[in-house]
Structure 1
Amino acid sequence: MKLHYQELGEGKPLIILHGLFGSSDNWMTIGKKLAENHKVYLVDQRNHGDSPHSDTHNYEVMATDLKEFIQEHKIENPHIIGHSMGGKTAMQFAVTNPDLYDKLIVVDIAPKAYPVHHDTILEGLKSINLTELNSRNDADKALAEYVPEKGVRQFLLKNLTRDENKNFVWKINLSVIEKSIEAISKGLEKHLSTEKDTLFIGGSESHYIKNEDHIVIINFFPNAKVEMIEGAGHWIHAEKPEEFLEVVMNFLR
């Protein structure tokens, strides 16, 4: 699958993968900063952003998408950053293709299975009747019945766009994501691992990386270290960008 991407800067290549319901645009601010020292590729994963839609959505195919992207663009030994779902894609790629990248940074996700917990968001997005929608404000009002946090709604509604006939449509493949939500929640296969340098960055206010997860992390990534950023939730790069960039750049040096 030919993934849509945005390219910034020059230097050592660095690929960034967004999380569930996200897109490459979510990482533009961080990407511009990292592009001062790197050639940054901001990638839309399948069924997200401007990349193609597919009926299949799991970490095996998304890791293959990443491998094909690296090979197609002749990218040599890139660093890889993955957030949430993108972090699991990056981990799956790393343990199956340890010779195709340099360093790995995983943002606020562990290589374990998580309980399915996006039901309310999915119900909220499905509740928006696109055929009767007149404005983004109407979409926000409908979604607010399911998602009270304004910032989360703004993030989710970045997936709303208009087609050539000016009708509202979703950029994300909502039906396939809903169908695949259990696969998105799965952990890595236990027999795979890599000794490449790996950094896990967690938010102290997030529940995705807990103290007990450090053992699971080391089982897959023996040379991993974990750094927690105080006061950050799940969207660390948006909530604490300066602290996030400092940790990332120190590791990449």
Structure 2
Amino acid sequence: TPCLPSSLTVLDLSENDLTVFNQRFPQLTMLILTGNRLMTLPHGELFPRLQTLLIQRNALRMFNSSDLKRFRELQYLEAGYNNFVCSCEFVSFFRQDVDLFITLRDGRGNYVCDTPFTLRGDAIDSVRLSVFECYMIPAVSVLCSLIIIVLGLIVVTCHKLHVIWYLQMTKAWIQAKRKPAVGRLAEELRYDAFVSYSQHDAEWVEEILVPELESAHPPFALCLHKRDFQPGRWIVDNIIDSIEKSHRTLFVLSEHFVTSEWCRYEL
């Protein structure tokens, strides 16, 4: 092509196996590039007076408004029978905006999708892509963010409402209910009472109440968590075991007791 005069107004280079075409023709009004291997439209700046471009049966993947704006006077385009990639951007441009720039002289039905595979052979005008397909990455990001937020809210809610604590209590209660309620030997009841109290009331309980009861006649055998719980054992198991080994449970009711989680469980 370098030997061609730049004054040409019509140029037919069809079926020449071209992969690129970048020679300048300032007077050219019609360019025929049908049947080559071009993957993009030629640069419009090279053809300032071009009015008609034929580029059918090439390897064209897509084109957009920027490509067409480079042609200052382009009016007619024939680009059917190419391997178009039906991306969201290209489908949207082809269906809504392409007619604002040029006239597709070979008919819109000749513009079909090659990829993705699920759309191969479909006319671009008939393609309907969902919002999720067009914005998959942002949609996945938003979805993951929502999942994280929901999980975070669940964790915070569970913490605020003590859900895990109540689940543990329910499990312990079920285990306690499964134990045989009859047939307990008298020697298994080691204590007269299990004393349930808040740690805030410990000074009064341990220095006044307990000494008074344990020094009575006859003395009371009391079970205290500070003194009689088995070290290293889960506190729920200790509570259940102590209650089962006691004839009664003695509650020291106070404001602190009512607001204590473990005391609520003992109740």
Which TM-score band (shorter chain)? Answer: under 0.3
The structure that is strand-richer by fraction is: 1
The TM-score normalised by the length of structure 1 is 0.27
The TM-score normalised by the length of structure 2 is 0.26
Higher relative contact order (CA 8 A, sep 6+): 1
Larger Rg: 2
